[in-house]
Amino acid sequence: MTRNDRLGRLLRVLHHGEVLAAQIALRQSHIAPVPWMRRALRVQAAQERGHALIADMALRLAGEPACTPDTTRALRRQLEHDLDAGALAASMLGLQGVVEHLGEALLDALGASPHPAGAVLHVLRRKVLAQERGHVQLGARCLRALAHDGSPGHTVAFDAYRGLGHAVADDVASLLDDARLDARAFWRDVDARLVRWHGDSLPRSS
């Protein structure tokens, strides 16, 4: 597999993740219980749509990779299941807790390699990384607020997202062959944060 093929695959996975994030953040905004949370999630959804457009532009410049499966499919099913059930806090463990971290790791891998779409990717990395980190902070803030208001914790969803996130990290690493994404190291960082977030999502006793 050539370097451009690998980076094209990475961009395709990134595009899948940004499209998913835009759709899920918008759905989260529809069931958020307070105005500040609804506004912030709508802003996130709009930013994610912009990220998807930039990734698509870079992908077209680089050339469409062959046979790149949607590694976010299982995460999408779980996120949609939680939102269908009105489980906002659980969906935040998945989107802001797992998907956003995956995006950060992919952008780090992009920055480590030259690419035909270098100018576009430079904009993508600088702008998107800053916003992705803001989305992670938003998720933590929302989970604390939901727990404070007595919304239930979601141990089953927490366990599901831990497994799905680990699987996605392994899938991405295998797609990229010799890319610089260390799936185990990446997952240790994400898992540690998910554990903290799970604690934040548990309702506080009065």
| Secondary structure (DSSP) of 116-175 | TTHHHHHHIIIIIHHHHHHHHHHHHHHHHHHHHTTPPP-HHHHHHHHHHHHHHHHHHHHH
- Single pTM value for the model: 0.81
Strands (E) across the chain are located at none
The values of phi and psi at residue 85, to 5°, are -85, 0
In a domain, 87, yes or no: yes
Q: What is the domain extent for residue 134?
A: 3-201
pLDDT tens track, the chain, 206 positions:
666 777 777 788 888 899 999 999 999 999 999 999 999 999 999 999 998 988 888 788 777 666 677 888 999 999 999 999 998 988 988 888 888 877 777 776 666 556 555 556 666 677 777 787 778 778 778 887 887 665 555 666 777 887 887 787 777 777 665 544 565 666 677 777 777 776 766 655 54
Q: What is the pLDDT of residue 115?
A: 59
- The dihedral of CA 109, 89, 204, 38: what is its sign? positive
Structure confidence at residue 31 (pLDDT): 95
Which CATH number characterizes residue 51's domain? 1.20.1260.10
Q: Is residue 206 part of a domain?
A: no
User: Positive or negative, the Cα torsion across 128, 136, 52, 172?
Assistant: positive
Both structure tokens of 25: 């953040």
Please give the structure tokens belonging to residue 99: 């998907």
Of 100, 99, 75, 91, whose CA–CA distance to 32 is shortest?
A: 91
Q: What is the predicted pLDDT for the residue at 206?
A: 46
Q: What is the pLDDT of residue 98?
A: 84
Split into its structural domains, the chain has a count of 1
pLDDT of the residue at 202: 63
